[in-house]
Structure 1
Amino acid sequence: MSKVASVDEAPPVEKSRLRERLGPAALWERLQGWLTGRKHSTIGFSILRILFGIAILIVLVPSYADRRYLWGAGAWWVEPEASRRGWWEPLRLLFPKDNAVVFETSFHVLLLLAVLFLVGFQTRWVTPVLLVFWVGLSTNSTLLGNGGDTLMRIVLLFVVFADLSRHFSVDAWMRSRRGSRPSRFAARMPRWVPSWTGTWAHNTVLILCVFQILLVYLVSSVLKFQGEEWVNGTAIYYALSIDQFHVMPALSQLAWQSAPVVALATWTALWVQMLFPVLILWKPTRYVAVVLITGMHLGIAVLLGLWPFSLAMIALDLLLVRDGTWLRAAARLGRIRRGVLSPAA
């Protein structure tokens, strides 16, 4: 009888433990631990810094010779539309069209800030200033930007509060050389601010960035489903047929030669974006989704020449890859490299 009784009592105990693990109090405690325990996706944020820096330089450097015609005194004809957008007026004073000295100074400061951001030098101070100058330049023209520029402005506002220089940066190199000695330029938090505030802010930014990319994919896929070309599998063919996007005409023509390949690529892009919020919930499908969506953006960059947009999207996608995964991949590559380089004997 005792054995029967113990068996009968087991399920309620297990149910009680399950309710404790899944109850509101337990979930809230786990969320607090995730937010304040340690910084997540620090490698992903460092990669985001590098890709965003490259994307900004891709916009600025090729346009350097034509900067006055695109954003300066030669762009007065865009001013009525630019003014109608209602940008905050102090931002519009950074790149004035009627003062060449101030415009040139601001443009070259922006170039310097982009380089410093890319290499990760004094990132905590450079990031907010870069955001102000990047938005200031965007106020001068409404015809040069795209969805990628809008996304970059939003994300740059978020990452002001994130740790962008933990890896692959001059800041990280200087910290390793300095050891435990504090930097003269280190931001000192007031004593009354809890020690976990920086970790909480970083992880909150991660949540906001992931939400932003999910919102982009969900809205994009819903709009795609309203287009007949996406549903019947011909949208990519028409995109590659636009003369203005023929960066490499021979490669574009090669890409649309096979109707099954075009249809498969179109439907894959459509469904991966639609299901992306669900696919990231499980680790194996998350990495499959990240690989597919990254491949899609690389295709857009190579075939259509939209490098800043693609780099911004890839940077956000890679935030979904955990630090542990990056470290394991690096260790595996290191073992392979040592095996290749080591003598056979």
Structure 2
Amino acid sequence: MNGIALSVSRGIARVTGAALGPYQTAVIRIGFSATWLLFLLRELPHRHELYGPGSPWGHDLAEQLIADNGAFTVLMWSDGRVWFEIVYAVAVLSSVLLLLGWRTRTMSVVFMVGVLSLQNRSVFMGDGGDNVLHLMSIYLVLTRCGQVWSLDARRARRAGGARARGERVVDRAGPALWSVFGFVLLTMTLAGALDGDWFVPALLWAVWAAQGLWWAVGRWAGGGEPRILLDVIADIVHNGALVVIMAEACLIYATAGWYKIQGSRWQDGTAVYYPLNLDYFSPWPALSEALAANGTMVMLITYGTVAVQVAFPFTLFNRRVKNVLLAAMMAEHAVIAVVLGLPFFSLAMIAADAVFLPTSFLRRLGGWAVRARAGLLGRLPGRLSTRLTAGRGDGGGVGGGDGRTAAVPGPRSREAVESDKDPGHTHVGFRT
């Protein structure tokens, strides 16, 4: 009985004492914001036909559909060209800022609004990758995804150093953003622009209120018990969202694999042959023809795809097998991006898969990036290099960005702490 109580106590400490997977959520933030940014930039010449005034799915048709399904999109507030250009520009800007990790709490909300607004405006323009991005943009709002590899983390380290020197740190940008978005939210609510499904407006108001409370407690309560309580709540929400992201990825692969098993073309090993012979999915016809002509290769890819997708959720209980299948799935998506011409679908799926990457690998990846940047800056002229490197941070601190990360109570080894913060570790299904 004491063992069970001790296990429960440790589990509660893990969930409430730290935001798990800081590197994994940072990769998810970077991956999905980069995917959406690249898509918006690629479709910049065609934006009016996809989502704007020139779309075949006109504003009146979109209004009828949204009145029926209650989907959220700010593009329904006006059918003018100027309003569409503003929304599109804000979507691009929020993607850039979220990618860099600047004010990640606020930018994750603006990013979500941009994704939902454009995708819900023309629902027939998307594919499986858009569906993943749609869901992940909502989950990102609930995570503390700016703890590492972000401008927020660098700002937090600088602020901590300034406080250690006895200097006063004043944050003007945060309250200004909070006031502006609060005014916009209140205006749109009173104007009835947020009528429809309640979930997104409720989420916007909840995040706005939580931001105000967080700032007020940090300003007047400092590091006392109210701030500790808010940190615990934020960690619980973050860890819950991380579990949902992991479950979503597993569900995607499990359902895809089991549906494929029921198809006759997947059963006889020829399913991959057919998309390789479709002009729409053949950006490199010679490559597609070469693959389609090799019957053994087609059979191996067909059966291998099904086997990996069905098996992956069960491999989470074994770290080594999971990492092998994870590498196989990422490689498969990279091949799909090149051979079938689906780069954004593949990028979205690779970003979702990144939640299972081991922390040790991500730390090495961050170290390589820092060394590459140092080497690049070393080749610049002396004065410019000095200005770029002055006061820089590598974003590697766990406690920056979205607030401090509380230590897990109790005497624990370094390996145990790293194990708790790594969603890609053995037995992740039990721990998170």
Scaled by the length of structure 2, the TM-score of the pair is 0.67
C-alpha distance in structure 2 between counterparts of 1:289 and 1:121, whole Å: 34
Q: For residues 141 and 154 of structure 1, what CA distance do their matches in structure 2 show? A: 16
Q: 1:334 to 1:68 in 2, by over 3 A?
A: closer
Q: What's the counterpart of residue 29 of structure 1?
A: 9
Question: Per the alignment, do residues 320 and 183 of structure 1 end up closer, same or farther by CA in structure 2, a change over 3 Å counting?
Answer: farther
Aligned to 1:267: 303
CA distance in 1, matches of 2:360, 2:235: 18
**Superposed, which structure 2 residues align to 1:79-98 within 5 Å?**
79-80=60-61, 83-84=64-65, 86-88=68-70, 91-94=72-75, 98=79
* Equivalent of 2:107 in 108, 126, 145: 126
Of structures 1 and 2, the one scoring higher in RCO (CA 8 A, sep 6+) is: 2
- Is residue 72 from structure 1 mapped to residue 52 from structure 2 by the alignment? yes
**Which segments of 5 or more consecutive residues in structure 1 lack a partner in the other structure?**
1-18, 336-345
Residue of structure 1 equivalent to 2:251? 215
In 2, Cα distance between equivalents of 1:277 and 1:62:
34
CA distance in 2, matches of 1:285, 1:329: 21
- Counterpart of 1:42, as a letter, is P
Letter in 1 for 2:94: L
Which amino acid in the other structure matches residue 67 of structure 1?
R
Q: Distance in 1 between matches of 2:118 and 2:366?
A: 38
SS at match of 1:195: helix
Partner Cα separation in structure 1 for residue 280 and residue 127 of structure 2: 15
Q: Over aligned residue pairs, what C-alpha RMSD do you find?
A: 2.6
> What does residue 113 of structure 1 align with?
94
**Which of 343, 346, 351 in structure 2 is aligned with 1:315?**
351
SS of the residue corresponding to residue 305 of structure 1 reads: coil
Q: What is the letter of the counterpart of residue 119 of structure 1? A: L
Task: Work out whether residues 75 and 121 of structure 2, in 8 Å CA contact, stay in contact via their aligned partners in 1.
Answer: no
Question: Which amino acid counterpart does residue 28 of structure 1 have in structure 2?
Answer: V
**1:227 maps to 2:227:** no
Residue 175 (1) aligns with residue 156 (2)? yes
Contact 1:279 1:286 in 2 (8 A): yes
Asked whether the 8 Å contact 2:29–2:140 carries over to 1, the reply is no
1:204 to 240, 243, 248: 240
* 2:154 aligned with 1:154: no
> Contact (CA 8 Å) 2:18, 2:235: kept in 1 or not?
yes
SS in 2 for 1:209: helix
For 1:236-283, what per-residue CA distance to the aligned partner results, in whole angstroms no more than 9, with x for missing partners?
Answer: 121222110112222222333322122111111101111111111111
Asked if residue 240 in structure 1 is aligned to residue 276 in structure 2, the reply is: yes
Give identity over the alignment, percent: 28
Quick one: which of 76, 95, 101 aligns to 2:82? 101
Counterpart contact for 1:95–1:103, Cα < 8 Å: no
More displaced, 239-248 or 32-41?
32-41
In the alignment, is residue 296 of structure 1 matched against residue 332 of structure 2?
yes
Distance 1:71 1:328, change over 3 A: closer
Determine if contact 2:63/2:76 at 8 Å carries over to the other structure.
Answer: no
Instruction: Mark the CA change 1:256 to 1:177 in structure 2 (over 3 Å): closer, same or farther.
Output: farther
| Aligned position for 1:51 | 31
Q: 1:284 to 1:130 in 2, by over 3 A?
A: same
Tell me the amino acid that sits aligned with residue 315 of structure 2.
L
Q: For residues 147 and 285 of structure 2, what CA distance do their matches in structure 1 show?
A: 41
Aligned residues of 1:76 and 1:97 also touching (Cα < 8 A): no
Partner letter of residue 238 of structure 1? Y
Gaps of 5+ in 2: 164-168, 176-210, 218-225, 372-432
Task: Tell me the secondary structure at the aligned position of residue 68 of structure 1.
Answer: helix
Instruction: Please give the TM-score of this superposition, normalised by the length of structure 1.
Output: 0.82
Per-residue Cα deviation, 1:121-140 (whole angstroms, up to 9, x for no partner):
11111101110121011122
| Equivalent position SS for 1:196 | helix
Aligned partner letter, 1:153: H
Deviates further, 322-331 or 129-138 = 322-331
Q: Equivalent residue for 2:396?
A: none
Per the TM alignment, residue 76 of structure 1 is displaced from its structure 2 partner at its CA by 4.9
Stretch moving more, 73-82 or 28-37? 73-82
The count of aligned residue pairs is 314
* Equivalent in the alignment of 2:192: none
Correspondence for 1:60: 40
Q: CA deviation at 1:30?
A: 3.2
